Amino acid sequence: MKYVLVTGGVVSGLGKGVTASSIGVLLKACGLRNCQYHPNTHFNLFGLDPYLNTDAGTMSPFEHGEVFVLDDGGEVDLDLGNYERFMDIKLTRDNNITTGKIYQASVGSVIDKERKGDYLGKTVQVVPHITDEIQDWIERVAMIPVDGKEGPVDVCVIELGGTIGDIESMPFIEALGQFSYRVGPGNFCLIHVSLVPVLNVVGEQKTKPTQHSVRGLRGQGLTPNILACRSTVALDDNVKGKLSQFCHVPEQNIITLYDVPNIWHIPLLLRDQKAHEAIFKVLNLQGTTKEPLLKEWTSRAEICDGLHEPVRIAMVGKYTGLSDAYLSILKALLHASVDLRKKLVIDWIPACDLEDATEKENPDAYKAAWKLLKGADGILVPGGFGNRGVQGKILAAKYAREHRIPYLGICLGMQVAVIEFARSVLNLRDANSTEFDPNTKNPCVIFMPEGSKTHMGGTMRLGSRRTYFQIKDCKSAKLYGNRTFIDERHRHRYEVNPDMIARLENAGLSFTGKDETSQRMEIVELPNHPYFIGVQFHPEYKSRPGKPSPLFLGLIAAACGQLDTLIQGSGSQGNLSAKLGNGIAMEKVYQKGTTKPAKVLSDGLYSYCNGVQV
């Protein structure tokens, strides 16, 4: 077994997760062989998060970005979403280790063993008990393939969360230092991601932050084999020489991760700078691999760079100030838009800015929000918790329904669509969710009976669940290729009230997907609307580059006036890219009856966003 550890220094947010994922892509493309000479490489990936939380489930999106949900119901850091998307694999909750899990959360944890008396009277300490538990966990789970293939795992890529110097990460760093000795020379490669800033005043690349970061890493018992340096531009040769001299890393092992138009270029950057050869040399794998071709990645990156015809999607949410709060949704929208050869432009709309109260308190924000909503080609209302902004989301659903704008509601986005329909069509003015009004006389959305009202962590309906289509002739079933059922990931405490279903359906709402009991509503549609779909599950978690989520594909296609072509392709299992892309320019029919293209803002991808993220 070979291990590749990715650490980060200087500042957080440098892209360790993307780097670790890209390394996995690169090594997989090299066709590594295990000792039985299987023709395929088997991988595993780990995320080590030093925070004391058991998992990411109770963290605010403003605090830590989105919570990514796995098939087994694990609520994990968003970097595991990057791993799954890049590598097209399925991870488990055991692939995310936190301090909370090590100390107390899991069966067989350190505290659990201490209570059982497994340590035979010893004083339980961070070293060796915590550090041994971390190493044992890595070694145990690393042997389990996550790519669906048989055979032993060849390579395990590990990302250590946080930044070198953080107090909470010290036990993990000590454990990994010991682990490098446990697995022996030639089986452990450390890649340190660091920052080389360029000061605008002098325009010079500064190496001192990286020097100090490496010194701190070496002071804690780990020595980097490769440096991956984040910078705005490629490193100058003299800068590489200086880093090599002061960090004790060969120049050929210093890689520049400079700014690129989209993250699909990162595996290509690593390949072009021979990062795979540096890794193989450290791991004694020279001569056992092939050159990575990465044709699909090259094509995808170039296609994304060359897109020019925009499609505008209004994202009406609660956490619009931080794009990472909706990272998987952004990725799913991007996957779909690239597949349809459209340039994605996101209009971020804080849901509360659409509400009447904002019109009085901040009329400029109110006008700006409604202007963006009315100018969008499609509207997406994502999930969320709490009552802030709910009325704005209801108004967005109402606007989409009445003006026949393509709409996709996810989790809470589905629930607010049902509430809006009950209020506007059934004339139930006080229709609401018991989450927001426990005393409502017309509860359209209710707390699930099996949920807990005293404990928040890990008590929701989580993970992969099966949805059965009730109607064959509906848009969602057609988009999924006319299957009888689908498996999608969930994360919710509330559900549509089964007692309200008959009244809602009699009024024109169609619940086209339900669970195995037929009592839990999974998909809702408006049959006579161009595209109005709400889902209780989170389809964004399973979207992949080159394999976009059908519902996101449907939203983008409907926003471009191409839904009928898409559905015909899905129904016949045809090649959609050949039908809609293929380099042929197609006139865009906008939902408002005009062919005038939307204005692309200066970022070229996401407007009204804190930075560009592809």
Task: Report the C-alpha gap between 265 and 614 in whole angstroms.
Answer: 10
SS3 369: helix
Question: CB-based contacts of 320: which residues, under 8 Å, 6+ apart?
Answer: 348, 349, 350, 351, 608
- Distance from first CA to last CA of the chain, Å, rounded? 33
One-letter amino acid at 418 equals V
- Helix (H, G, I), strand (E, B), or coil: what is residue 516? coil
- Tokens 């004391």, residue located: 52
Compute the distance between CA of residue 492 and CA of residue 487 in angstroms, rounded to an integer: 16
Whole-number Å distance between alpha carbons of 153 and 227:
25
The rounded radius of gyration (Å) of the Cα atoms in the chain is: 25
Cα–Cα–Cα angle for 492, 494, 499, nearest 5°?
A: 140
Residue among 253, 293, 290, 260 nearest 274 (CA): 253
Pairing mode of beta strands 204-205, 198-199: antiparallel
Catalytic residues: 411, 538, 540
In 3D space, the residue among 243, 249, 241 whose CA is nearest the CA of residue 223 turns out to be 249
Quote the CA–CA distance of 412 and 492 in Å, as a whole number: 8
Residues β-bridged to residue 193: 8, 228
Pairing of strands 343-350, 606-607: parallel
Q: Which CB contacts under 8 angstroms, 24+ apart, belong to 71-77?
A: 71/463, 71/464, 71/489, 72/463, 72/464, 73/458, 73/462, 73/463, 73/464, 74/462, 74/463, 75/458, 75/462, 75/491, 76/47, 77/17, 77/47, 77/49, 77/161
Residue 412: enclosing H or E segment and its boundaries? helix 412-424
Contact, 458 vs 75, CB < 8 A? yes
**Any residues with CB less than 8 A from the CB of 371 and at least 6 apart, and which?**
none
Q: For tokens 């340590």, name the residue.
A: 119
308 is written with which tokens? 């020019």
Using a 10 angstrom Cβ sphere, with 0-12 exposed, 13-18 middle and 19 or more buried, the burial of residue 378 is buried
What phi and psi values does residue 298 have, to the nearest 5 degrees?
Answer: -60, -45
Q: Give the residue from 214, 233, 211, 234 showing the smallest Cα distance to 224.
A: 214
Counting Cβ atoms within 10 Å, is residue 12 exposed (0-12), middle (13-18) or buried (19+)?
exposed
Structure tokens at 558: 């409907």
Beta bridge partners of 443: 432
DSSP 5-34: EEEE-SSS-S-HHHHHHHHHHHHHHTT---
- Asked if 59 contacts 53 with a C-beta cutoff of 8 angstroms, the reply is yes
| Alpha-carbon span 232 to 212, nearest angstrom | 20
Sign (positive or negative) of CA dihedral 50, 52, 54, 55: negative
The kind and range of the H/E element at 218 are helix 208-219
Distance CA 449, CA 459 (A): 12
